[in-house]
Amino acid sequence: MTDNTKEIFIAGAGCIRVGEHWGQSLRELAAEAALKALDSAPGIKPECLYVSTMSSELFAKQGSVATLVADQCALGPIPACRVEGACGSGGLGFREAYLAVASGMVESALVVGVEKMTDLLPSEVTGVLSTAADQEYEVFNGVTFAGLNAMMMNAYMAKFKATREQFAMFAVNSHKNAVNSPHAQHPKEISVEAVLNSPVVSEPIRVLDCCPVGDGAAAILLTSKKNKSSVKVAGLGCATDTLALGDRASMTELSASRLAARQAFDMAGIKPKDIDVLEAHDAFTIMGLLALEDLGFAEKGHAGKFVEDGRIGMGGELPTNTFGGLKARGHPVGATGVYQIAELYWQLSGKAGKAQVNGARYGLAQNIGGLGAVVTATILEGVK
Amino acid sequence: MTDNTKEIFIAGAGCIRVGEHWGQSLRELAAEAALKALDSAPGIKPECLYVSTMSSELFAKQGSVATLVADQCALGPIPACRVEGACGSGGLGFREAYLAVASGMVESALVVGVEKMTDLLPSEVTGVLSTAADQEYEVFNGVTFAGLNAMMMNAYMAKFKATREQFAMFAVNSHKNAVNSPHAQHPKEISVEAVLNSPVVSEPIRVLDCCPVGDGAAAILLTSKKNKSSVKVAGLGCATDTLALGDRASMTELSASRLAARQAFDMAGIKPKDIDVLEAHDAFTIMGLLALEDLGFAEKGHAGKFVEDGRIGMGGELPTNTFGGLKARGHPVGATGVYQIAELYWQLSGKAGKAQVNGARYGLAQNIGGLGAVVTATILEGVK
């Protein structure tokens, strides 16, 4: 990558509560979040639109969703583009919006993440989620997405002697934080015992190791103009890995996550110890623990202890998933990456309400597509 | 849009023949085109990847296709992003690759368009194509994508007294050119009578007014470095319209097409009369005629006469769809926009073989998503 000195800021953000929105269609969910983001930054008109959606085709039988959202928000004839990288779609959409502004072709860009998942039966949702994995090499043989995560969790537990309790504690932390989140799907605390005693999904993964299924939408407005309570996009990273888990050298780390984080830290000119708040992609608790190691916060094999020691708690050195994470804020797949960055924006601009981490300057969001097949790392900096 | 003075070039391109590729999977088709493009530009390594696909979810039950292609081409850990705007995905992917290079974050970007359509039954393909239209407002009522085009063709014929023969002549021209195209799905001539006597699809549209269904892949490498036989990206435009046809002021023009073309011409600093070769999105003959008007070549209502007078022929003033267009080269939906721009690149770098338009300097490609819901216009300039 060449040097890029242009400064780009977040001017506003909005989202809806994640949940079962059976009374609203895909376009309505997206527009509600988009208009909230635009209302939060009066006077700035987006010059292009990105919409992040994992699978509107399978969830809603609708393509061309970026056009749909432009139309519904009365933003037409704005250039509009849908971006997809499975559950990593949101981070990718934010990245494209950044690149558009950085190119100088536009001064402002809106990114909207949206997914409407609950119109399908749970068994159908499992099928859609499996499209994030390698159909020909792995899914064809019968494995589910949870099953692939279970293989990684088993491998990690065998290699590093992490305990089931340590995994559960990651989920417990996310739920504890969600209580203070106005848009969380499950704003209630759970206990380690509840996680351990919840039904098995795919051994050793239990129901409460998994994020829920939900509908949601979030939006962020980027601009090349600095504004009041500005938050700067300080670092961006993006890397890929094999789609099939079986093609990888290691089952106990995500190399794309490590690379994306390194790129983002290099661009921001900071180190992991400088991060004040982390949004990690905890679709399953194994992904939460791996995030702490791959992003550079915990030593390899020690993420369980890191969690057990309370270091990811609101009073710890690295408050993590401050609005509930995928586990408790919810994981409307293609929208999640946009939620994460919006949450960092609220933290770094002092707008996080009861979830506020006082004095936070740098935040990092990690968004994963597939089993780490594509990962984006985004570092924001508050610039009061 | 602000001024953007950065010069960006096409360094190479590749594609496979459009057809029924039952023996190759989606990833194999994409990789073949991608590796051809890379082979055509030795020494240039792409720093990021865009993959344009309309609906790998419904056609192949596979998401995260950009990662899949990166993996199959051994390009990992390259940043990879899938871009979608229905049949306009290819033009949008090219635009994103351009923006990435223009941003200064990378010096080179590869865009791959791919679609594998023929594994489904024709009736299923019709269902997938309808996801490009508004599901809730129009498709739900039973109309197909061909049916929506038929409404526009009826409206146009009633308003401007265009003849069935004039529409047929657009298809005849595309087929005539395809004979000289090494990658066309149907490289054979057809007659006006054959079009008029072919079976009705949706009155007044007949089978030979429609592009075929096919598998295909095409790829283009962009770079900020000028090279031998360089072709410059001179102008880009992109605009949207309502997804539902019924929401529009006019059924006899595509406003997004007009706007996208105007943006591209303004950026390139040229006028329609400067264009030496046109690639128009003739998914149906009505779209071909509208393209001539919306892009500024024929006066409103006179496109039929323009075609009848032979002005779009290889010996005419505006050689159009020189490799066969959607009608005869084929229309692997998400890949089409990349094919079009690759074909212009071959024309403007003197590599078009038997299809060569001698002395061509400027070329324009128009790529349409849905019924003109999103349109990109791309102007290339040969800079020997």
For the segment B253-302, what is each residue's pLDDT rounded down to a tens digit? Answer: 999 999 999 999 999 999 999 999 999 999 999 999 999 999 999 999 99
For residue A314, the distance in angstroms to the closest alpha carbon of chain B comes to 33
What pLDDT shows up at residue A216?
A: 98
Q: Is the pTM of this model over 0.95?
A: yes
Asked if residue A194 has pLDDT above 70, the reply is yes
**How many CA atoms does the CB half-sphere of B93 hold within 13 Å?**
41
For residue A156, what are the contacts with CB-CB under 8 A and spacing of at least 6? A162, A251, A252, A286, A289, A290
CA distances for A79 relative to A224, A311, B37, B263, B360, angstroms = 18, 44, 27, 11, 29
Q: How far apart are the first and last CA of chain A?
A: 29
With tokens 């491998």, the residue in question is A155
Whether a cis peptide bond, with omega within 30° of 0, leads into A77 is yes
How do residues A24-64 score in pLDDT, each as one tens digit?
999 999 999 999 999 999 999 999 999 999 999 999 999 99
Nearest CA in chain A to B259: A77
At B234, is the secondary structure helix, strand, or coil?
Answer: strand
Q: Which residues of B touch A124 (CB under 8 A)?
A: none
Identity (one letter) of the amino acid at B246? Answer: G
Q: Which residues of B89-127 are buried (b: 16+ CB within 10 A; e: fewer)?
A: bbbbbbbbbbbbbbbbbbbbbbbbbbbbbbbbeeeebeb
* Beta-bridge partner residues of B237: B377
State mean pLDDT over B337-341.
Answer: 98
User: How many beta-carbon contacts under 8 Å exist across A and B?
Assistant: 229
Cα-based torsion angle of the residue sequence B257, B263, B268, B274 in order, rounded to the nearest 10 degrees: 40
Mean pLDDT of A292-314: 98
Question: Does B21 qualify as catalytic in the annotation?
Answer: no
Q: Choose, from B48, B73, B87, B210, the residue flagged as catalytic.
A: B87
Please report the pLDDT score of residue B5 as a whole number. 60
Query: In chain B, whose CA is at the least distance from the CA of A84?
Result: B82
Dihedral (CA of B52, B57, B61, B64) sign: positive
Contact A99, B1 (CB under 8 A): no
Of A54, A81, A241, the CB nearest to B85: A81
Secondary structure (3-state) at B305: helix
Q: Report chain A's mean pLDDT, rounded to a whole number.
A: 96
What average pLDDT does this structure show over B341-356?
98
Nearest to A350 by CA among A307, A302, A384, A378: A384
pLDDT digits (tens, 9 = 90+) for A106-165: 999 999 999 999 999 989 999 999 999 999 999 999 999 999 999 999 999 999 999 999
Catalytic residue among B175, B183, B281, B331: B331
Judge contact between A90 and A335, C-beta under 8 A.
Answer: yes
State the pLDDT at residue A5. 60
Using CB atoms and an 8 Å cut-off, which of residues 103-132 of chain B contact chain A?
Answer: 103-107, 128, 131-132
Q: Is the pLDDT of residue B98 over 90?
A: yes
Distance from CA of B149 to the nearest CA of A (A): 17
Sign, Cα dihedral of A143, A146, A149, A150? negative
8-state DSSP, B236:
E
Q: How far is CA A204 from the centre of its chain?
A: 24
Q: Which pLDDT belongs to residue B227?
A: 77
In angstroms, the CA A201 to CA B70 distance is 31
Confidence (pLDDT) at B3: 43
Residue B228: per-residue pLDDT: 75
Which residues 239-278 of B have a C-beta within 8 angstroms of A? 239-244, 247, 255-256, 259
Q: Per-residue pLDDT tens for A229-273?
A: 689 999 999 999 999 999 999 999 999 999 999 999 999 999 999
pLDDT score for A3: 44
Task: Give the mean pLDDT of B341-347.
Answer: 98
Q: Mean pLDDT across chain B, nearest whole number?
A: 96
Per-residue pLDDT tens for B14-72?
Answer: 999 999 999 999 999 999 999 999 999 999 999 999 999 999 999 999 999 999 999 99
With b for 16 or more beta-carbon neighbours within 10 A and e for fewer, the B356-368 pattern comes to: bbeebbbbbbbbb
Does residue B311 surpass a pLDDT of 80?
Answer: yes
Q: How far apart are CA A265 and CA B7, in angstroms?
A: 29
- Contact A223/A5 with Cβ under 8 angstroms? no
What pLDDT sits at residue A152? 98
* Residue B206 to chain A, least CA–CA distance (Å): 25
pLDDT for res A1: 40
Q: Let me know if B331 is a catalytic residue.
A: yes
Question: Residues B32, B37, B43, B47: is their CA dihedral positive or negative?
Answer: negative
- In this prediction, residue A78 carries a pLDDT of 98
Amino acid at B46: P
Residue of B nearest to A27 (CA): B136
A115 has which bridge partners? A216
Q: Is B232 within 8 Å of B9 (Cβ atoms)? A: yes
CA distance B209 to A208: 55
Percent with pLDDT over 70 in chain B: 98
pLDDT tier at A84 (50, 70, 90 boundaries)? very high
Q: Do B238 and A79 touch (CB under 8 A)?
A: yes
Q: What is the pLDDT of residues B221-259, one digit of tens each?
A: 999 988 776 899 999 999 999 999 999 999 999 999 999
Statement: residue A69 has pLDDT above 80: yes
Q: What ipTM was assigned to the predicted interfaces of this complex?
A: 0.97
Rounded to an integer, what distance in angstroms lies between the CA atom of residue B374 and that of residue B384? 32
Q: What percent of chain B is predicted at pLDDT more than 90?
A: 96
